[in-house]
Structure 1
């Protein structure tokens, strides 16, 4: 049966296209995400998608916006500025965590997408409340966001093959390589080999990463005030 124009239009809804493109990126990586691959997933020709995406860069931008659309910023409270900032950064990481293979796309969309702009404005507002000038808040905010994106994209084990057997074989090989090091020369590395290869708790991994960012921001202020 030939699909009707309304059925085709529904399949090619931009929001649905971005969601399905993100699913491809999550499963197969950004290299596999092309307009042709997305067209195949929707059973249409690539030309049908050029009404929505001019090229692959445009498609990747839509995926970045789709990730940021899941960002649920906490409402302002009467907590100290740094506690509220941690809540904002928590929310950002929560949106990125399910998508380690595609999270890097958000870096170029924060100052473009509505959700990204809202986070940037709120972050700078809190940083200026803490004592930074607007320019310094911009720099501190940018570097903090970059650090958290890297935290997600480099989560140990997250970018291994999604097949459980293949993934475990790869991790086992990496553990074995560290275990083969001399414990006399590298006592701490060999003792913590499992954690270095794959965190014992991803929640702890992210909580520590965000703690480090917030503590670093407070530390910068302390140094400047000394």
Structure 2
């Protein structure tokens, strides 16, 4: 209104107040997203309930109303990561192509979250997205003609291969962080150079093949090795698939 008095300005010597930051309401989803962010940025060993609480500007005790502890947090983070896996509509007539695409898709997601594989080993799938992937793989194999018992073993061994490969990658990521090197390329060049030099120094009379063929031993990178191992598995599965 026109008759209202003008506001009095703040004295120039008074420090301006910072606008208060509105805290997001704590929820399991927020805690999991924050935990995943810590895991990706700082690694598996840095993740703790205290560290997540620090990121959320709260105390660890407040998290326990939503997550029972670090073990459950890791399970939830793992299932959250699996939500990024894209699955096609199952087509049993193309089971081998679909299983290959499925494995490559998981490999892609694990590469984006290297340390999550350390939370996956020895984990029984109970989360929504773990179950979604299990249903896809198991159902695809059974509908393609494999017995449920055989399909169970295939699913178990294929999962172990995918998680184990990702776990190895997570170990190298941890070493790279600790080394202070600029990135994966520098780290792996240094790693391979050390292996090559060591094998070349082995006594030739005791280890002739390892010493002579060290260049072949170190020729393929991680992606080539993953692809080769996957084809070995798929060919083995195909050999056990009933001929319809």
Whether 1:214 aligns to 2:234 is: yes
Q: TM-score, normalised by structure 2?
A: 0.73
Q: Is the 8 A contact 1:103 1:152 kept in 2?
A: yes
Q: Is the 8 A contact 1:22 1:63 kept in 2?
A: yes
Aligned to 1:178: 199
Aligned to 2:46: 32
- Whole-Å separation in 1 of the counterparts to 2:51 and 2:44: 11
Q: Which protein has the larger Cα radius of gyration, Structure 1 or Structure 2?
A: 2
Structure 2 residue ranges without an equivalent (≥5): 1-17
* Higher deviation after alignment, 38-47 or 24-33: 24-33
1:16 positional shift: 3.9
Q: Is the 8 A contact 2:200 2:214 kept in 1?
A: yes
Aligned to 1:42: 56
Distance 1:176 1:27, change over 3 A: farther
Whether 1:17 aligns to 2:31 is: yes
Structure 1 residue ranges without an equivalent (≥5): none
Distance 1:212 1:158, change over 3 A: farther
Please list, as runs of the form range in 1=range in 2, the aligned pairs for 1:71-86 lying within 5 A after superposition. Answer: 71-77=85-91, 80-86=94-100
Q: CA RMSD in A?
A: 3.1
- Whole-Å separation in 2 of the counterparts to 1:114 and 1:108: 17
Give the one of 182, 185, 189 matched to 2:210.
189
Instruction: Give secondary structure in 2 for the equivalent of 1:102.
Output: helix
1:141-162: CA deviation from partner (whole Å, max 9, x where unpaired): 1121112111111238444222
1:108 positional shift: 5.5
Aligned length: 219
Aligned to 2:159: 145
Q: TM-score, normalised by structure 1?
A: 0.78
Distance 1:33 1:204, change over 3 A: same
1:84-110: CA deviation from partner (whole Å, max 9, x where unpaired): 222222222222222332214235666
* Higher deviation after alignment, 102-111 or 36-45: 102-111
